[in-house]
Amino acid sequence: MQGTRYNFKNLFVLDMANNHQGSVEHGVEIIRRHGEVANAAGIRCAIKFQFRQLDSFIHPDHKAESKNKHIPRFLSTRLSKAAYAKLLGEVRKEKLVAMCTPFDEESVDLIVEMGFDIIKIASCSAKDWPLMEKAAQAGLPMIVSTGGLTIDEIDDVVSFLDHRGVDFSIMHCVSIYPTPDENCNLQNISMLKERFPDRVIGWSTHEYPQDTAPVMVAVGQGAEMFERHVGVQTDDISLNAYSSTPEQSKCWIDACKKAQVLVGSYQRGLPAEVERSSIDSLRRGIFVKTTIESGAQISRGDVYFAMPYQDGQLSSAVWQEGIIAKSDLSSDQAIFPSEVELPAPAKYRVIKSAIHEVKALLNQARVHLGPEFEVEYSHHEGIENFRKVGTVLINCINREYCKKILVQLPGQVHPEHFHKRKEETFQVLFGELHSNIDGQVRVMRPGDTALVMPGVWHNFWSETGCVFEEVSTTHFNNDSVYRSPAINKMERLERKSIVNHWGRYQLD
């Protein structure tokens, strides 16, 4: 469990369905063989049963003979409650998760009575509201498959379960057995993750069992839970076209795990040393073309760029006019930082370099700006300290009401202050924001709001980067009083750089 929620992430579901063929012994063999595969792979794995109370589930006129292809199979593979209890005991013995799909209300009661861990709702039952209502009352974590559902119908299911406080996850599923490549629509996984960001999204698969490409693509699209049908083939028992043997299950699980390794981390970290060395071996270093005397300003004609780059050498990436030689430099010599004096960075360079990160955060937050807006770069402790003490404020509207989009980069702090006239409400759109309002500190996440009344001390900061919205009464210049006397003594334009759009030509 994660807090009050079940941890659906990286759960592998192996659906036994009717592949036990109505034989307890064969069902035990399926559980043991696939349990060995799961335990050897070190995965968290659920064995899934299917319950139907056939005496009431099937219409009396169809029990002896039916044109429905499923009914003869259901009747011929019927098992008793005692038989299922023995199979459930085998699941526990293999230290696997126990899951079951009910197809009628009585089966929900049986699932609860027998102590299953998770209820799985089949695609054909996702709009069966009497069954859904009963399952929602069971108090168990739930997985819902979405085969054959429109997006509006998926919205209905999610809303239905949300309103009833059910702990659930969603399986992208295609109810074609087996599923052709052109019907997999695996980008639906990404769509569902964006549409329901607080739910785990999985892939319930019915493709040919020897085909491992779909599960690898599903991982790439963000699937975090996986399901397929399984069985064991014998001289007398053959599997359907979409069920896996233990050997095929192993290949499927291995492919999934490899895809997870290939996908790696969502966050862009520092390059590995081997990658850095590889890049350095192809970089161009700065070399002296003609002799340069100590104290001379180095021009572009005095140097050339060539490989191999020497470790620690100045590279072509840092070339700029205005470099001064601190010692005599001879022809073809590699230039190192200790041998030159680099020009001081332009006053607004720290802000200009931060703009790219601000735009990236807005893109991640799906916050779109029009072509006309005003930006305030707040730098209350100097432009050079903008990355530590600063905020980007994008002014959208300022009438009787005011709206701003605020961006804080990782590690930035906005100093403590209050407003004499303005009342404002903050709402987090992306990332995490630490707020301190009248001494009450809290961590705010997307959707959280905070009201700040006039005269109330407040400040905020972000450790990871944050985009949040300010909705307030009219903004007035010089309405802020800061806790720091030094900031209060500053003129407004000393602590803020105000530009049109991003100000790329105004920040000089």
**283 within some domain:** yes
Q: Which tokens sit at 216?
A: 């690898």
**38 within some domain:** yes
Q: What is the CATH number of the domain that holds 280?
A: 3.90.1210.10
Amino acid at 285: G
344 DSSP assignment: P
Same domain (yes/no): 73, 138: yes
Same domain (yes/no): 300, 419: no
Q: Which of 331, 327, 254, 259 is nearest to 291 (CA)?
A: 331
Same domain (yes/no): 431, 357: yes
Does the N-terminal peptide bond of residue 60 adopt cis geometry, omega within 30 degrees of 0? no
Burial 173-209 (b: 16+ CB within 10 A, else e): bbbeebbeeeebebebbebbbeebeebbbbbbbbbbb
- Phi, psi torsion values for 176, nearest 5 degrees: -120, 130
Same domain (yes/no): 222, 365: no
Q: Which tokens sit at 6?
A: 């079940």
Same domain (yes/no): 187, 283: no
Amino acid at 486: A
User: What is the pLDDT, as a whole number, of residue 4?
Assistant: 65
Q: Which of 444, 447, 428 is nearest to 436 (CA)?
A: 444
User: What is the pLDDT, as a whole number, of residue 508?
Assistant: 66
Specify which residues 481 forms β-bridges with. Answer: 418
∠ CA 47-219-209, nearest 5°, is 55
Specify which residues 285 forms β-bridges with. Answer: 306, 315
Same domain (yes/no): 257, 313: no
DSSP 29-72: HHHHHHHHHHHHHT-EEEEEEEE--HHHHS-GGGSS--SSTHHH
**162 within some domain:** yes
* Domain limit, last residue, from 263, 296, 320: 263
User: What is the pLDDT, as a whole number, of residue 217?
Assistant: 98
Q: Are 299 and 319 in contact (CB under 8 A)?
A: no
Distances (CA, A) of 97 to 88, 108, 117, 119: 10, 17, 7, 11
Same domain (yes/no): 218, 242: yes
Q: What is the CATH number of the domain that holds 414?
A: 2.60.120.10
User: What is the pLDDT, as a whole number, of residue 2?
Assistant: 41
∠ CA 25-27-31, nearest 5°, is 115
**505 within some domain:** no
297-331 residue pLDDT tens: 999 999 999 999 999 999 999 999 999 999 999 99
Amino acid at 412: Q
Domain that holds residue 313: 274-341
* Distance of alpha carbon 446 from alpha carbon 440, whole angstroms: 19
**1 within some domain:** no
Domain count for the chain, please give it: 3
**3 within some domain:** no
Same domain (yes/no): 357, 413: yes
**193 within some domain:** yes
Q: Are 169 and 8 in contact (CB under 8 A)?
A: yes
Same domain (yes/no): 279, 416: no
Same domain (yes/no): 82, 199: yes
377-417 residue pLDDT tens: 999 999 999 999 999 999 999 999 999 999 999 999 999 99
Which residue has 């893109």 as its token pair? Answer: 363
Q: Which of 311, 309, 287 is nearest to 300 (CA)?
A: 287
**439 within some domain:** yes
DSSP 430-461: EE-EEEEETTEEEEE-TT-EEEE-TT--EEEE
Q: Which of 128, 197, 142 is nearest to 171 (CA)?
A: 142
H/E run at residue 75: helix 70-76
* Domain limit, last residue, from 341, 374, 398: 341
Helix 105-114 / helix 129-136 crossing angle, nearest 10 deg: 20
Cβ neighbors of 433 (< 8 A, separation 6 or more) are 408, 426, 443, 444, 448, 460, 461, 462, 466, 468
pTM: 0.83
* Domain limit, last residue, from 208, 242, 263: 263
Same domain (yes/no): 248, 283: no
Same domain (yes/no): 227, 286: no
Which residues does the chain have with pLDDT short of 50?
1-3
